[in-house]
């Protein structure tokens, strides 16, 4: 006897099935669109990879084929026939090899199999790099194909995850639920089938309600639209690549499936720690940027281990890993977070949080710090404060921040200082604490013990000088529960050789007063170097010292460029003895070259100072891997040529370019005006032969730009003064 048909069966469930079928089709379409976009990238990538593999195989003697066959291969006949390299065999057909006198069927097959085995091994070692200064049709095709994936943004990954889940689940639910879409068909179905259909229909209804609440349809539709956009013009793709090369290389890594050594990219942590980290899901709902594989691991490590030191080498994105962890915790329901950092990077942190996530950032510093703290306390978000201000903030009442992040954590190595005591008080209250430092702790075991006393006092007795003496890998394994460090050579195999970072700072009172005076006088050049008026308190000089110090502990050479000789004099005084230069217009060419040679000859860390128009042309400074620009340049080509002295053919390390910028100043104004120029024209002109010969031809007028900036700054400061906020 058939059971009674529930009243919800029939039309309502039929509508659910129709909606589910539409959602299923949207999910399947997105997955197909993504497959097509990935195929386009692979089609452009594979010829470039094949060429690199071919070059490597060309350098391998054909005799090495014996190594892949345990010496059982006879190659005399092939060598006599002119097969001198593995490449010659690899690119020859089976039929052609068999035509060689003395080469039988078995020998030909074994030789080809050995050549292919070696080629697969070589393919895992070569890295396709995109030379932005020498574009050619094949690399242009790759950049254009990648542009579609990059432009889709981090939402693409979220949409693909949703599409995969929906494709799988709806593929099961729809056939099972359809019998419940007709009252008669359901009534005639057996009891067991009817119950299955109704259960599937109920789950389908829940799935559709959840999809509607989270706008999944819109997410899928937008992702498909992004993947189906027409290819952009070549030049536009190249310009975009220059603006965000790391995102292009990140997508290329995903598509090409080339990964750095897993153990190295995971900091050589023990397998049991790595397994826990891999099992941690990373929610990107509140994140605006895609992460590299090693960066995802770092963010997950911080979440899983809860109280850790992230000690990645400078330039690997410690800040974005911290922001990713904060964004994940926000998605889990945590509302308040606290970042403590030196004053020199305060503005940078606030800007990065706003750019890389949807979290609110509050700068708790300066005269209005108490108001900012109160607003953070009421509204939630990320409070960014300094070591010197932290002790003035009221202790958290009730629930502490979801995570405390301490940047440049080596600042708190001395437990007797006020900053260390303040940090210690907050770390005791917070369940999750993330210390960031680019200083290699295995070289400073006592410093590391000091940091562990804040985070994991139980591990302090475990850390010994013996572990450090055994080498960095052994040290990292011994302290794996609380320390993760990756070096650039471990994870940057596919990254571009040039990474730009804008270092934003706030003008200190003395520099601010000098700046306002220069604006009032209409003195453009004085405005540009006002940030160095008081070397004792200059925020730019403070940040410069920190960058140089971090480069020193990592054994990296640094070139510091400025347009102004007096700025370089201040830098020299700030850095002390041992600084080379400055190279300036008054230094003869022979002496300039001698300074560059002396810089190259210094073993390990060294610093060279140079006026940008004197050292930016003609000299080879590729011994350096860190460039610091003391101020933005009026002519973009001047900056470009100076960086090119370091980032050039033969450079074996990634080059990090740090541009020091003062917020609410001529620096900010200059960048905004230059950004509004026709950047496509600039990029085209800069690559043309004419522009290389006469770079001034594509730069805007110094006089016109200076006049415009002075006028705009005078107006802005006048408005602030009128409002009582100057």
> Alpha-carbon distance 435 to 132, whole Å?
36
The pair of structure tokens assigned to 678 is 């026709």
At residue 636 the predicted structure's pLDDT band, cuts being 50, 70 and 90, is confident
Closest CA to 656 of 499, 437, 491: 499
Q: Cα-flanking dihedrals φ and ψ of residue 109, to 5°? A: -65, -40
For residue 389, is pLDDT > 70? Answer: yes
- Asked whether 608 and 559 are in contact (CB, 8 A), the reply is yes
pLDDT, residue 446, reads: 80
Kindly list the structural domains of the chain, giving each domain's residue range(s) and its CATH number in brackets, ordered by start.
1-128+148-227 (no CATH), 265-491 (3.40.50.10810), 498-723 (3.40.50.300)
pLDDT, residue 708, reads: 85
pLDDT, residue 618, reads: 56
Q: Read off the pLDDT of each residue in 169-175 and give the average, rounded to a whole number.
A: 93
> Alpha-carbon distance 489 to 679, whole Å?
33
Q: Read off the pLDDT of each residue in 598-623 and give the average, rounded to a whole number.
A: 84
At residue 436 the predicted structure's pLDDT band, cuts being 50, 70 and 90, is very high
* pLDDT digits 0-9 by tens, 401-424: 999 999 989 889 888 899 999 999
For residue 246, is pLDDT > 80? Answer: no
**Which residue's entry shows tokens 């799935």?**
207
pLDDT, residue 2, reads: 41
Long-range contacts of 184-190 (CB under 8 A, 24+ apart): 186/5, 186/9, 186/10, 187/2, 187/5, 188/2, 189/2
* pLDDT digits 0-9 by tens, 24-39: 999 999 999 999 999 9
pLDDT, residue 443, reads: 61
* pLDDT digits 0-9 by tens, 683-717: 444 334 333 343 343 344 567 778 888 888 999 88
- Asked whether 436 and 407 are in contact (CB, 8 A), the reply is yes
At residue 651 the predicted structure's pLDDT band, cuts being 50, 70 and 90, is low
Task: Between 11 and 296, name the one with better pLDDT.
Answer: 296
> Alpha-carbon distance 705 to 664, whole Å?
17
At residue 641 the predicted structure's pLDDT band, cuts being 50, 70 and 90, is confident
> Alpha-carbon distance 418 to 422, whole Å?
6
Q: Read off the pLDDT of each residue in 536-558 and give the average, rounded to a whole number.
A: 93
Greatest mean pLDDT among 21-30, 340-349, 650-659 lies in 21-30
Q: Read off the pLDDT of each residue in 322-335 and give the average, rounded to a whole number.
A: 97
pLDDT, residue 687, reads: 39
Q: Measured in whole angstroms, how far is the alpha carbon of residue 466 from the centre of its chain?
A: 34
Q: Read off the pLDDT of each residue in 645-656 and give the average, rounded to a whole number.
A: 67
At residue 513 the predicted structure's pLDDT band, cuts being 50, 70 and 90, is very high
**Which residue's entry shows tokens 């049709």?**
137
**Which residue's entry shows tokens 């990292």?**
476
For residue 484, is pLDDT > 70? Answer: yes
């Amino acid at each position: 006897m058939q059971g009674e048909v529930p009243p919800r069966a029939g039309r309502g469930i039929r509508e659910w099935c129709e909606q589910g079928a539409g959602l299923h089709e949207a999910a399947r379409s997105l997955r197909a669109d993504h497959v097509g976009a990935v195929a386009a990238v692979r089609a452009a990538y594979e010829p470039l990879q094949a060429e690199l593999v071919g070059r490597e195989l060309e350098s391998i003697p054909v005799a090495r084929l014996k190594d892949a066959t345990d010496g059982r291969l006879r190659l005399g006949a092939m060598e006599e026939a002119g097969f001198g390299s593995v490449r010659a065999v690899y690119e020859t057909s089976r039929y052609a090899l068999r035509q060689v006198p003395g080469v039988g069927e078995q020998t030909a097959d074994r030789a080809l199999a050995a050549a292919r085995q070696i080629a697969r091994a070589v393919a895992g070692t070569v890295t396709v790099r995109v030379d932005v200064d020498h574009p050619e049709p094949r690399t242009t095709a790759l950049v254009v194909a990648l542009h579609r994936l990059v432009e889709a943004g981090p939402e693409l990954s979220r949409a693909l995850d949703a599409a995969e889940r929906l494709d799988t689940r709806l593929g099961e639910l729809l056939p099972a639920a359809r019998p419940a879409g007709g009252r008669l068909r359901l009534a005639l179905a057996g009891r067991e089938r009817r119950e299955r259909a109704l259960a599937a229909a109920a789950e389908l209804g829940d799935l559709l309600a959840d999809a509607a609440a989270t706008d999944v349809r819109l997410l899928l539709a937008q992702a498909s639209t992004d993947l189906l956009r027409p290819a952009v013009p070549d030049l536009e793709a190249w310009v975009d690549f220059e603006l965000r090369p790391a995102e292009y290389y990140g997508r290329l890594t995903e598509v090409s499936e080339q990964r750095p050594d897993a153990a190295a990219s995971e900091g050589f942590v023990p397998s049991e720690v790595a397994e826990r980290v891999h099992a941690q899901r990373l929610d990107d709902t509140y994140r605006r940027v895609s992460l590299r594989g090693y960066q995802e691991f770092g963010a997950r490590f911080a979440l899983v281990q809860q109280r850790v030191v992230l000690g990645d080498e400078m330039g690997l994105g410690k800040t974005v890993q911290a922001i990713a962890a904060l964004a994940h915790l926000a998605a889990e329901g945590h509302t308040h977070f606290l970042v403590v950092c030196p004053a020199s990077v305060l503005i940078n942190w606030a800007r990065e949080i706003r750019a890389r996530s949807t979290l609110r950032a509050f700068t708790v510093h300066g005269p209005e710090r108490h108001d900012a703290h109160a607003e953070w306390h009421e509204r939630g978000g990320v409070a960014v404060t300094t070591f010197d201000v932290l002790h003035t903030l009221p202790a958290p009442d009730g629930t502490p921040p979801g995570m405390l992040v301490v940047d440049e954590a080596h600042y708190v190595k001395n437990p007797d200082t006020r900053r260390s005591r303040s940090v210690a008080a907050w770390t005791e209250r917070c369940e999750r604490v993330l210390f960031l430092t680019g200083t290699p702790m295995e070289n400073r075991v006592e410093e590391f013990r000091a940091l562990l006393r804040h985070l994991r006092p139980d591990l302090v007795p475990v850390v010994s000088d013996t572990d450090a003496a055994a080498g960095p890998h052994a040290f990292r394994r011994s302290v794996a529960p609380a320390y993760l460090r990756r070096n650039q050579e471990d994870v940057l195999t596919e990254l571009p050789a040039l990474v730009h970072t804008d270092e934003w700072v706030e003008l200190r009172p003395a520099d601010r007063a000098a700046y306002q005076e220069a604006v009032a006088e209409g003195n453009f050049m004085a405005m540009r170097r006002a940030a160095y008026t008081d070397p004792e308190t200059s925020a730019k000089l403070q940040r410069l010292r920190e960058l140089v110090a971090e480069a020193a502990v990592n054994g990296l050479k640094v070139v510091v460029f400025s347009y102004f000789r007096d700025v370089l004099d201040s830098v020299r005084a700030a850095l002390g003895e041992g600084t080379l230069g400055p190279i300036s217009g008054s230094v003869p060419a022979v002496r300039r070259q001698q300074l560059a040679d002396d810089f190259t000859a210094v073993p390990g860390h060294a610093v060279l100072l140079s006026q940008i128009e004197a050292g930016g042309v003609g000299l080879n400074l590729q011994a350096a891997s860190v460039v610091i620009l003391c101020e933005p340049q009026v002519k973009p080509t001047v900056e470009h040529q100076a960086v090119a002295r370091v980032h050039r053919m033969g450079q074996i390390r990634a080059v990090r370019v740090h541009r020091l910028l003062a917020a609410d100043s001529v620096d900010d104004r200059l960048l905004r005006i230059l950004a509004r120029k026709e950047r496509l024209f600039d990029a085209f002109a800069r690559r043309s032969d004419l522009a290389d010969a006469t770079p001034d031809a594509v730069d805007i007028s110094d006089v016109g730009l200076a006049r415009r900036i002075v006028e705009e700054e005078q107006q802005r400061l006048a408005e602030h003064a009128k409002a009582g906020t100057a």
